A and B are shown apart, each in its own frame.
Chain A
Amino acid sequence: MHGFANPARFLRLARWLMPLLLIPGVILAGGALVWGLFFAPAEGLQGETVRILYIHVPAAWLGMGGWKVIAGASFVELVWRHPLAGLAARAAAVPGAFFTAVCLVTGSLWGRPAWGAWWVWDGRLTSMLVLLFLYFAYIALAGAASGDGQGNSRVPAVFGLVGAVNIPIIHYSVLWWNSLHQPPSLSLGRSAMAPDFLWPLLIAMLGFSLIFGGVVLARMRALLAQIQAEARLRRKAQGAFGSGASA
């Protein structure tokens, strides 16, 4: 694993891996959404609104998945001091927050025709909103930690680990508390959905996951380039100051 801690090796890998994730991701997600919008059947009870599923479920999956990446990378950073792990955690925060927001907005758009309400303060919706606030706090903390000039990213890493407590709460909220939200239809190796709905959904989830991976790599490259540029400029400034002082 420490072989990938070398930034030059990571950049070589990221340069070809990023388009390899983004291009198939866009094709798969786009194809699945066209399938869901025009070719998948309407559902008996919910009618046409069920088509929101193909946006809402991948967004929920990646909203929670993004924080799992942050928690995993934070753990690696704290335990093994892997220099790129902190960057991976920071890079996953913005796309994670974006997909959480899309999940909340599309859930609200689904809730209005299905439940007759834009929003209800039940366990699933509230814990998902808490996740969005956790993302905002993480982004602010990580920004402050990188801006202090010390490169101290232990505080956001600890926050990333502690915040992971919310993930099982989101997952089990529909089982622990009474909720308008339906219980999970998909779990590992089991599905309560008919294949007509399941296949476009799985392809959409795969496509959006590849897009997520590509965006995380692009963000990591941006953060790495930013750190390297700042380090060079600092060295130049110190060199100029040093030669000026000796003269």
Chain B
Amino acid sequence: MREMLDPWIFVHLSYAIGVGGTALMIAWSLWSMRKAERRRERSREP
């Protein structure tokens, strides 16, 4: 007998993980880039 599952739960979870994760990855990569570039600027100071 085939189990009846609500497909939308799986669809929404997949989208939440994919979209949320991608947004976090973009934010983290931009934040770490800015942080590293600020540190480089500070290292230029005498």
Proximity bits, A29-59, B CB within 8 Å = 1, else 0: 1000100010000000001110110011001
Write the nearest CB–CB distance from A89 to chain B, whole angstroms: 16
The size class of the interface chain B forms with chain A is 20 to 34
Taking chain A's interface residues, is the majority helix, strand, or loop, or is none over half, making it mixed? helix
**Per a CB cutoff under 8 Å, which of A52, A95, A223 touches B14?**
A52
Per-residue CB proximity of A89-127 to B under 8 Å, as 1/0?
000001100100010011001101100100000000000
Within the complex, the shortest CB–CB distance from B13 to chain A, in Å, comes to 6
B12 CB → nearest A CB, Å: 9
Q: Are A222 and B36 in contact (CB under 8 A)?
A: yes
How distant is the Cα of A22 from the Cα of B22 in the complex, in angstroms? Answer: 11
- Work out how many contacts link A and B, with CB atoms closer than 8 A: 101
* Assembly CA distance A229 to B39 (angstroms): 7
Q: Would you call A95 and B25 a contact (CB within 8 A)?
A: yes
Residues of B within 8 A of A (CB): 2-3, 5, 7-8, 10-11, 13-15, 17-19, 21-22, 25-26, 29-30, 32-33, 35-37, 39-40, 42-44
Interface residues of A (CB under 8 A from B): 22, 26, 29, 33, 37, 47-49, 51-52, 55-56, 59, 94-95, 98, 102, 105-106, 109-110, 112-113, 116, 208, 211, 214-215, 218-219, 221-223, 225-226, 228-229, 232-233, 236
